[in-house]
Amino acid sequence: MSEIKINDLVVKFANTNGTGSASANNMFAKAIMRMGIPVSAKNIFPSNIQGAPTWYDVRINEQNFLGRRAGKSDIVVAMNAQSFVADINNVCDGGYLIYDNSKQLPETLLRDNIHFLGIPISSICLKEFQNPRQRQLFKNVIYVGALAALLNIEFDVLKTLVRDQFKGKEKLIAPNIFALELGHQYAINHFDCPINYRIERRDLIGSRIMVDGNTGCALGALYGGATVVGWYPITPSTSVIEKFASYCQRLRIDPASGKKNYAIVQAEDELAAIGMAIGGGFNGARSFTATSGPGVSLMAEFLGLAYFAEIPVVLMNIQRAGPSTGMPTRTQQSDITACAYASHGDTKQVLLFPDSPAECFELSAMAFDLADRLQTPIIIMSDLDLGMNDHLSPPFQWTDKQKYDLGKVLSIRELDNMKQYGRYRDVDGDGICYRTIAGTHPNKGAFFTRGTSRNQDAVYSEKSADYVENMERLTRKFETAKHYLPKAEISKGLQNTKVGLVYYGTTSQAINEARFMLQQQGIPVDLMRILAFPFGDEIKDFVDHHEQVFVIEQNRDGQMRSLLITELEINPSQLDSILNFDGLAVTADAIVDGVQAQMDQQQQEVI
């Protein structure tokens, strides 16, 4: 009898796209959370609607190591004939394969070192359900019921989940619970339950919620006061707008008139999407769009206009694997350079890097304040992993004391009291000028916004001095931005060390585990998470105070490293890259292996 593992395992569900498995798999993950145990879920899906293989990885870990785990899975639920052979091979030694044995498995597929647990799922469904769609859907629910028995998950937790999930659709509750019971009972009757992997109730979740980052972005925009949205559907950003629209329908309808306090247009393309957002920003409404890499490419010209004409606008970039169409349903952090310098000429854009759904909420809401304060585009750099997968996250937080920062917008009274108004006059010396909104004053404050060069009074000018002054002021404004942006988070280890790891965004999920593993191997590390570009002074300080700094990124070219070198004038030899760009979320093992390989190599070079 092998060792019993409690609350530390990976369960992989292998399904077929379009069979309705995601909600059953999610029910499984949520049940773990409701038993007080940290859990993460990653949906690995193809760029296809129906029929292709899809996987759903659930990691359960008491130590809160919730990044993607490298290597094989402890339990694989293999429901897809297309990927069956690979799925069998994906079970770790001593692990379990749960499969539909309505048809007998060919002996050639059997492995000696894993447990095969066959459940006649199709036969059960055929017998118990009349409706063809139910027969399909409840296959997924049956294996969740069986897993509950095998892992010792409290059945009442599952029943409550079903009741919560189908609130308002009560007819669906009884058949779902019945399907769960079918699987549960079959497992109890036929297997030695519970198996060597078990779930035991804990109290380790606290106030955390389980939600995806795109929902965080959508709610952040709602709470941040966004009213104008232009968008064009593109994976993995689409659900940002769909969820924003859905929350608006609930929360932004004027109770007296029944009319909408928002406007959303599905544009004809990404060019129009950001054009609309910029038009809204120009006219004083909080406006945004959401897209992914190919959309950012199309939006680049407009981003340059908004930078130069100084229009507030928010762009949510849910990154996926590029270049070109790349892998539309796989994750990456590879739009750093494209966004930081989006558009031609000397252009610099403000970037924010959330690492959790809660931070998607917080930074999205903050982005509208920043856009108005700085009068420039603010780009949220999320990614598919953060945006579309469910994560354990601190709850979304808002206090009613928070007031929108509308920045330097002149009222009719202020204009009346002004002797002279000039749109691009740096009155306060911070590079941020005062703007006026159309319709404010009958004869003061009107100006012509343009992407061409102009003087301080917004009058077209090709004079070199006017152009240079304007460009230098924009640089000054970019410096000012640092005062409003979140600082990098620095976490010193328990021991003094000269090794630092720099990371951003979703790498957070793997970083604590990587640090733990490195510590075990005698390599203590300090951590720094970058939250914003332009970079604050603390970032250069961190690099300067460590002899060896690794920049961990989910792209091929070390784009953040390049940006750090360029912007902070860091000697390239001070920064090493650890890169993961296979389209899947980075693992702690990859980080540890990267650090070790680089250290070994450098040691070799010294010898």
Partner 1 sequence: MSFAKSKFHHKALPKNELGLTYRDYEGAISTLCAGCGHDSISSAIVHACHELSIEPHHIVKMSGIGCSSKAPNYFLNNSHGFNTVHGRMPSVTTGANMANKNLKYLAMSGDGDSASIGLGQFAHVVRRQLDMVYMVANNGVYGLTKGQLAATSDKGVKNKAGEISLFNDIDLCTMALQLGASFVARCFSGDKAQLVPIIKAAMSHKGFAFIDIISPCVTFNNHPDSTRSYDYVQDHITTGAITDYVPIKEEITKEIPAGRFEDICLHDGSIMRINKLDADYDTSNRMKAIIDVEEHKQRGEILTGLLYVDPTSRSFHELNETTETSLNQVKQDILCPGQRVLANINDGFR
- The one-letter amino acid code at 32 reads I
- Asked if 273 is part of the footprint of partner 1 (rule: CB under 8 A), the reply reads yes
Q: Which two tokens stand for residue 18?
A: 């379009």
* Structural tokens at position 247: 């929350």
Exactly one of 95, 175, 213, 280 binds partner 1 (CB under 8 A); that residue is 280
Near partner 1 by CB under 8 A, which window of 275-283, 476-484, 491-499, 515-523?
Answer: 275-283
Binding mask 337-376 for partner 1 (x = CB under 8 A): ----------------------------------------
- State the nearest-atom distance from the C-beta of 91 to partner 1, in Å: 31
Q: Which is nearer to partner 1, 457 or 582 (CB)?
A: 457
65-73, 91-99, 170-178, 390-398 -> range binding partner 1 (CB under 8 A): 390-398
Residue 100, CA atoms < 13 Å, CB-side half-sphere: 24
Q: How far apart are CA 293 and CA 234, in angstroms?
A: 9
Find all residues with CB under 8 Å of 307, minimum gap 6, and list them: 343, 347, 348, 349, 376, 377, 474
Residues in 391-410 at the binding interface with partner 1, rule: CB under 8 A = 395-400, 403-404
Taking CB under 8 A as the binding criterion, the range among 21-29, 44-52, 53-61, 254-262 that sits at the site for partner 1 is 254-262
* Closer residue to partner 1 in complex, CB, 395/572: 395
- Residue 285 near partner 1 by CB under 8 A: yes
Report if residue 245 touches partner 1, rule: CB under 8 A: no
Show contacts with partner 1 in window 195-224 (CB under 8 A): 209-211, 219, 222-223
Given the rule CB under 8 A, which of 171-179, 280-288, 488-496, 598-606 is the region that contacts partner 1?
Answer: 280-288
Helix (H, G, I), strand (E, B) or coil at 301: helix
Question: Cα 173 to the chain's mean position, in Å?
Answer: 32
Beta bridge partners of 533: 351
Q: How far from 295 is each of 226, 237, 421, CA to CA, in Å? A: 20, 10, 37
Binding mask 4-43 for partner 1 (x = CB under 8 A): -----------------------------xx---------
Query: Other CB atoms closer than 10 Å to residue 463's CB: what's the count?
Result: 11
Q: How many residues does the chain have?
A: 607
> Is there binding between residue 109 and partner 1 (CB under 8 A)?
no
Interacting span for partner 1 (CB under 8 A) from 139-147, 193-201, 270-278, 596-604: 270-278
Is 420 a binding residue for partner 1 by CB under 8 A? The answer is no
Q: How far apart are CA 271 and CA 298, in angstroms?
A: 6
Which amino acid, residue 311? Answer: I
Residues 290-309 touching partner 1, rule: CB under 8 A, are: 301-302, 305, 309
Q: Does position 94 bind partner 1 by CB under 8 A?
A: no
Give the residue with the Cβ less far from partner 1, 415 or 474. 415
| Residue 82 CA to its chain's centroid (Å) | 29
Confirm or reject binding of residue 77 to partner 1 (CB under 8 A): no
In the complex with partner 1, the residue whose CB is nearer, 64 or 449, is 449
The runs of H, that is alpha helices, within 152-254 are 155-165, 173-190, 213-223, 238-251
Distance CA 30, CA 36 (A): 10
| Measured distance CA(281)–CA(338) in Å, rounded | 22
* Number of neighbours of residue 195 by Cβ within 10 angstroms: 21
User: Which listed residue (5, 190, 198, 252) binds partner 1 by CB under 8 A?
Assistant: 252
CB of 416 to partner 1, least distance (A): 13
* Comparison of 345 and 448: residue with beta carbon closer to partner 1: 448
| CB 200 to partner 1: min, Å | 20
Q: Which 460-499 residues touch partner 1, going by CB under 8 A? A: 460-462
Q: Which residue type, as a one-letter code, is found at position 261? A: N
Q: How many CB atoms lie within 10 A of CB 399?
A: 5
Decide: 14 and 140 in contact? Cβ < 8 Å: no
